Structure 1
């Protein structure tokens, strides 16, 4: 039936109606890129038209943003900046937002129409670390014991003791309390498995337990 075909429903909307819907979501959710829009679409499939439909109606995602008078995110734009200009832009943003780590920057850069961490690393290489030097300098001053104590407390808070997934931890941890996993590993000169052993967990045993559980569930 036609009423169940969402493409037909969106097709019946005029440009002004569509632009009003997208503008509202753009402002509320800070959506700047087509990738962010697709992520929103996955979670709210009935609330907005598909990216394909937007491209059909407005030529491109950027074309829609242009009609709305919204800033567009284009990674090519950063090539027009000199190294000094780009560094000043990023370090000012880091200071204003009180960003304490590269991980924290990566999470909010896209929402604020800033160059991605990947773009910065491609441009500056290891020099990117200097952008965060003042913010991360406290990590160097903390002892390994202090870092490991905080690490274990955060694992407990996140209820990851029976999992110990580094990926999950890196996605969920409070970056206002701890530096990134990679910073801790670099500071302590230990792997994730070694860190887990240091704070009292048998990483291999838990890993094997997870594998056996997955195999059992798949049978």
Structure 2
């Protein structure tokens, strides 16, 4: 990643993800395309350039984990699973948010491959991510305490959360625990877009997140 150069092919891939998100939501008539469009470059970078995955084994212990705490933006994750050959096909994207599809309105663990946990209630996803990061460190301590170099337990946990997650108490508690435990294997991406259905987030949320 240190020598990664953004190419025209990467740009086209990101644009494709954006179009997939917009078209899928338009087709079904409901959903949340905004985050999927704005964060398409981030999700693409993680899934296609950064995270360790095995397309043939969604349970591989050494895989990096991705948790979309802002679960309402599920098409953000689904589009990258499709583009990365991770268990979804174009027809799955086309059947977004329909009964019986592999692409429900919120990511569901055990229903869609490479979805690490069910998310929907705001703040729950990042809390799960903290637990996963703690589990990885615990696993290494039990199974490879003196191992030199990288082990299957040295995976990273990536999580995307938004303003709604930041307003939840469970998120604050999990963040406090993560800081106390100094979880260096947890990487959180905060989507501070300041937009809600009711207007700017400042009407309900005025904290200095960076300071906290």
TM-score (norm 2): 0.27
Q: Which has the larger radius of gyration?
A: 1
Indicate the structure with greater helix content: 1
Task: Give the structure, 1 or 2, with the largest relative contact order (CA under 8 Å, sep 6 or more).
Answer: 2
Indicate the structure with greater strand content: 2
